Amino acid sequence: EVQLVESGGGLVQAGGSLRLSCAASGFTFGDYAIGWFRQAPGKEREGISCISSSDGSTYYADSVKGRFTISSDNAKNTVYLQMNSLKPEDTAVYYCAADRAPIGGCFVVYNYWGQGTQVVVSS
């Protein structure tokens, strides 16, 4: 059974940093893509970053490019999202998601989702 567990959310002041973790189990990590999404109240879910655990390719949405960094520790089956220079508009529930991507890349339909972790950035 595929399971994803996010952690690391919390309350931080604008300009601060947080590191989110997504611990994965139940699948061969090296064949999957992992994505980070967020959803703010009243807004649609936004895909903000993803990484291929097979070829290491990454993607960042313009809204987070240059501030957020995604990384993968395949030995720990964990993907991280380092979030720097946080802004109040980054406030949202952050979700990680996974699905198979055996040929690399991370633009896939994600069918496995974590429960989310709340990030609140105060001004």
pLDDT tens sequence for the chain (123 residues): 999 999 999 999 999 999 999 999 998 777 899 999 999 999 999 999 999 988 889 999 999 999 999 999 988 999 999 999 999 999 999 999 999 988 888 989 999 999 999 999 999
Q: How many whole angstroms separate alpha carbon 89 and alpha carbon 111?
A: 27
Closest by CA to 95, choosing from 110, 73, 74, is 110
- The radius of gyration of the chain's CA atoms, rounded to the nearest angstrom, is 13
pLDDT in the model for residue 101: 87
pLDDT in the model for residue 111: 95
pLDDT in the model for residue 71: 95
Q: What residues contact 14, with CB distance under 8 A and at least 6 apart?
A: 86, 87, 88, 121, 122, 123
Closest by CA to 104, choosing from 29, 70, 53, 59, is 53
pLDDT in the model for residue 110: 95
